[in-house]
């Protein structure tokens, strides 16, 4: 097929079967399909796709190596600027990034850059020692300088990887007992298998990065303690883990979870498996409030833990749903019901204090609001009830307040985001840098990684200037 033809589709597990298991939904390209897809790329000299990539992967160069069947070479080109390629190949919204700028997308289908990235990374891991780095730091004399990283999400892993490649001694402090941030506790296994995540964390470790888990910075010790203990710089990549709730009556009833709590209980604490100590009540009808990516992950997880019925409750219409189109379709094919233009106003409890339903209002769409989406307006007298035994409120997250409230002199936005110099990633405290969701609020894996790269360059510049190193 190749040049001029449509993009190659991604094989998937059958919808009915996959809704009952946690195995990966998207199965990946075969070698023949990957080669065919690579042939579609025009190798544009102006590299428009690269400007859409927050970590500047040389896309035409890696795709060209794929055409020559040099898959390890392709993976190495990607890894020059992206330490987590198999993750990004699976979860990045490429349709809004590199693929949005692909010239082929103007008249037809963009090259499937993400799927090719996934293939190259998986091929390297399967056929060579892909999870171990064989490299020499660019400047081994910088090993005397130490950098502390708070959080092992994509922002923290990227800063750590980039600084270790330069030659710094890097230590990550992670609050949870496992690494990866949202990649582990938020994004479910059927979109990102944990073997892939473990492999890419191992790669970062093989660059020389040390990771300590179960250390809560702000409690175990503070950011300023790290500077006093001899770290030359600190990067705060603590993410956005504080859930936004509806603030309506009855929200404290049992059986009502935030999206984060629900996903953490399933993904990290295995609450759906009897042999683990933190069980959830087996749900019959789960209502998920919200329509972003977190909401889609919650619905699809609820199906997999055995819910009889799962309903998305969203106050706007289909066009306004913020989740990726692909995720909405996947949820729909797996059997999720969409109750649109519906706004919960009150939760109803039973005599034991457990949720048994919610009162909702019918909405209609008015004029666009500040977000550009049409504003939902309540229809007078339209109250109705939905029966359910589990509710998941998935409206997004704000940055966790702990670092903000325990770090003197750290300037933050009124909603909690840490303020930084956009060019260097430095905060209001000299030597303390920040990036990712802790700065922007909930965004994307690749934007957190892009921010990590900016901060790594900023930290390198800061330490060199401070110590007169050229
Ligand atoms: P995080 O990933 O949140 O990592 C922060 C880390 O810091 C965590 O491990 C946390 O435990 C640790 N930490 C926090 N406080 C402290 C402390 N005081 N001391 C020590 N450690 C601390 N983006 C996509 O691009 N594609 C997707 O498909 C996608 N799906 C998503 C699904 C869900 C359910 C959610 C919630 C988000 C999703 N996102 C997705 C968004 C994306 O995951 C985040 O934007 C990204 O993970 C942010 O990276 P980060 O490193 O800034 O923060
Ligand atoms: Fe290939 Fe599209 Fe990038 Fe051109 S814009 S080099 S066709 S991926």
pLDDT tens digit string along 299-352? 999 999 889 999 999 999 998 898 988 899 999 999 999 999 999 999 999 999
Given 96, 127, 158, the domain boundary residue is 127
With contact defined as beta carbons under 8 Å apart, do 156 and 237 qualify?
yes
Across 61-68, average pLDDT: 97
Is residue 9 a part of any domain in this protein? Answer: no
Determine how many CB atoms are found less than 10 A away from the CB of residue 430. 11
* Per-range mean pLDDT, top range of 66-70, 78-82, 204-208: 66-70
Instruction: Answer yes or no: do 99 and 189 share one domain.
Output: no
Instruction: Answer yes or no: do 391 and 402 share one domain.
Output: no
Name the band, by pLDDT with cuts 50, 70 and 90, for residue 128.
Answer: confident
Instruction: Answer yes or no: do 51 and 167 share one domain.
Output: no
Is residue 133 a part of any domain in this protein? Answer: no
- Ligand 1 centre to CA of 240 (Å) is 6
Instruction: Answer yes or no: do 390 and 406 share one domain.
Output: no
With contact defined as beta carbons under 8 Å apart, do 392 and 437 qualify?
no
- Ligand 1 centre to CA of 182 (Å) is 4
Cα–Cα–Cα angle for 139, 140, 141, nearest 5°? 90
- Nearest-atom number in ligand 2 for the CA of 110 is 2
Name the band, by pLDDT with cuts 50, 70 and 90, for residue 18.
Answer: very high
Is residue 7 a part of any domain in this protein? Answer: no
Does 270 score more than 80 pLDDT? no
Instruction: Answer yes or no: do 213 and 251 share one domain.
Output: no
Crossing angle for the helix pair 113-127 and 71-81, nearest 10 degrees? 110
* Alpha carbon distance 451, 453 (integer Å): 5
Is residue 417 a part of any domain in this protein? Answer: yes
Given 127, 158, 179, the domain boundary residue is 127
* Cross-strand bridge partners of residue 347: 358
Is residue 157 a part of any domain in this protein? Answer: yes
CATH number at residue 211: 3.50.50.60
Does 271 score more than 70 pLDDT? no
Instruction: Name the residue of 182, 407, 456 to mutate for ligand 1: max ligand atoms within 8 A of Cβ.
Output: 182
With contact defined as beta carbons under 8 Å apart, do 163 and 156 qualify?
no
The pTM (predicted TM-score) of the whole model is 0.91
Cα–Cα–Cα angle for 37, 122, 17, nearest 5°? 85
Instruction: Answer yes or no: do 340 and 448 share one domain.
Output: no
* Alpha carbon distance 116, 108 (integer Å): 18
**pLDDT attached to residue 83:** 83
Query: What is the total count of domains within the chain?
Result: 3
Is residue 8 a part of any domain in this protein? Answer: no
For the record, the structure tokens of 91 come out as 């979860």
Tokens 């008249």 label which residue? 107
Instruction: Answer yes or no: do 228 and 261 share one domain.
Output: no
Instruction: Answer yes or no: do 387 and 322 share one domain.
Output: yes
* Alpha carbon distance 48, 51 (integer Å): 6
Given 127, 154, 173, the domain boundary residue is 127
Pairing of strands 384-387, 309-313: unpaired
**pLDDT attached to residue 267:** 87
For the record, the structure tokens of 162 come out as 């980039």
Compute the half-sphere exposure of residue 362: CA atoms within 13 Å on the CB side of its CA: 6
Instruction: Name the residue of 6, 38, 51, 59 to mutate for ligand 2: max ligand atoms within 8 A of Cβ.
Output: 59
Instruction: Answer yes or no: do 378 and 252 share one domain.
Output: yes
Does 370 score more than 90 pLDDT? no
Residue 431, domain extent: 140-241+398-467
Is residue 3 a part of any domain in this protein? Answer: no
- Nearest Cα to 300, choosing from 14, 11, 10, 15? 15
* Alpha carbon distance 470, 466 (integer Å): 11
With contact defined as beta carbons under 8 Å apart, do 157 and 436 qualify?
no
Ligand in nearest proximity to the CA of 447: 1
CATH number at residue 76: 1.10.1060.10
For the record, the structure tokens of 393 come out as 């409120």
Ligand in nearest proximity to the CA of 219: 1
In order, the DSSP letters of 283-337 are PSEEEEE--SHHHHHHHHHHHHTT-SEEEEE-SS-GGG--S-HHHHHHHHHHT-E
Instruction: Answer yes or no: do 296 and 312 share one domain.
Output: yes
Is residue 164 a part of any domain in this protein? Answer: yes
For the record, the structure tokens of 230 come out as 């001899």
Instruction: Answer yes or no: do 283 and 318 share one domain.
Output: yes
With contact defined as beta carbons under 8 Å apart, do 424 and 462 qualify?
yes
Across 366-388, average pLDDT: 89
Q: Is the dihedral of CA 335, 336, 337, 340 positive or negative?
A: negative
Which residue is closest in CA terms to ligand 2's atom 5? 102
Instruction: Answer yes or no: do 359 and 423 share one domain.
Output: no
Residues with CB under 6 A from ligand 2: 41-44, 48-49, 59-60, 63, 102-104, 111, 113
* Cross-strand bridge partners of residue 191: none
């Amino acid at each position: 097929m190749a040049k001029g033809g449509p993009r190659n589709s991604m094989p998937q597990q059958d919808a009915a079967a996959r809704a009952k298991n946690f195995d990966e939904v998207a199965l990946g390209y075969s070698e023949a399909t990957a080669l065919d897809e690579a042939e579609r790329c025009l190798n544009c000299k102006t590299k428009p796709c690269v400007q859409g990539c927050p970590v500047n992967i040389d896309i035409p160069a890696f795709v060209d190596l794929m055409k020559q069947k040099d898959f390890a070479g392709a993976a190495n080109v990607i890894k020059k600027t992206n330490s987590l390629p198999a993750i990004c190949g699976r979860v990045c919204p490429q349709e809004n990034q590199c693929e949005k700028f692909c010239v082929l997308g103007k008249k037809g289908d963009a090259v499937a850059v993400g799927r090719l990235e996934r293939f190259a990374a998986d091929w390297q891991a399967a056929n060579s020692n892909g999870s171990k780095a064989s490299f020499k730091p660019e400047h081994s004399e910088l090993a005397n300088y130490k950098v502390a990283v708070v959080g092992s999400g994509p922002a923290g892993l990227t800063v750590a990887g980039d600084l270790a490649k330069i030659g710094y001694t890097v230590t990550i402090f992670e609050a949870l007992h496992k690494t990866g941030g949202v990649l582990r506790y938020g994004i479910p296994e059927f979109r990102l298998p944990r073997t892939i995540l473990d492999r890419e964390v191992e790669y970062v470790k093989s660059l020389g990065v040390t990771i300590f888990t179960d250390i809560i910075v702000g409690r175990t010790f503070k950011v300023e303690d790290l500077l006093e203990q001899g770290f030359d710089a600190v990067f705060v990549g603590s993410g956005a883990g504080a859930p936004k709730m509806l603030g309506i009556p009855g929200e404290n009833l049992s059986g009502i979870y935030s999206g984060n709590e629900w996903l953490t209980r399933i993904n990290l604490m295995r609450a759906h498996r009897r042999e683990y100590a933190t069980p959830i009540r087996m749900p019959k009808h789960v209502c998920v409030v919200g329509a972003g990516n977190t909401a889609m992950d919650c619905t699809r997880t609820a199906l997999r833990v055995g819910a009889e019925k799962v309903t998305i409750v969203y106050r706007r219409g289909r066009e306004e749903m913020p989740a990726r189109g692909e995720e909405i379709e996947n949820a729909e094919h797996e059997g999720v019901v969409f109750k649109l233009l519906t706004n919960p106003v009150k939760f109803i409890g039973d005599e034991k204090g457990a949720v048994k339903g919610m009162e909702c209002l019918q909405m209609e769409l008015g004029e666009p609001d500040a977000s550009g989406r049409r504003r939902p307006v309540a229809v007078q007298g339209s109250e109705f009830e939905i029966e359910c035994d589990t509710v998941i409120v998935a409206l997004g997250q704000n940055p966790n307040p702990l670092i903000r409230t325990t770090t003197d002199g750290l300037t933050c936005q009124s909603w909690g985001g840490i303020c930084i110099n956009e060019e260097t990633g430095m905060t209001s405290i000299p030597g303390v840098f920040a990036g990712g969701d802790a700065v922007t609020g909930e965004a994307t894996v690749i934007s957190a990684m892009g921010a990590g790269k900016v901060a790594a360059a900023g930290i390198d510049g800061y330490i060199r200037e401070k110590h007169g190193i050229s």
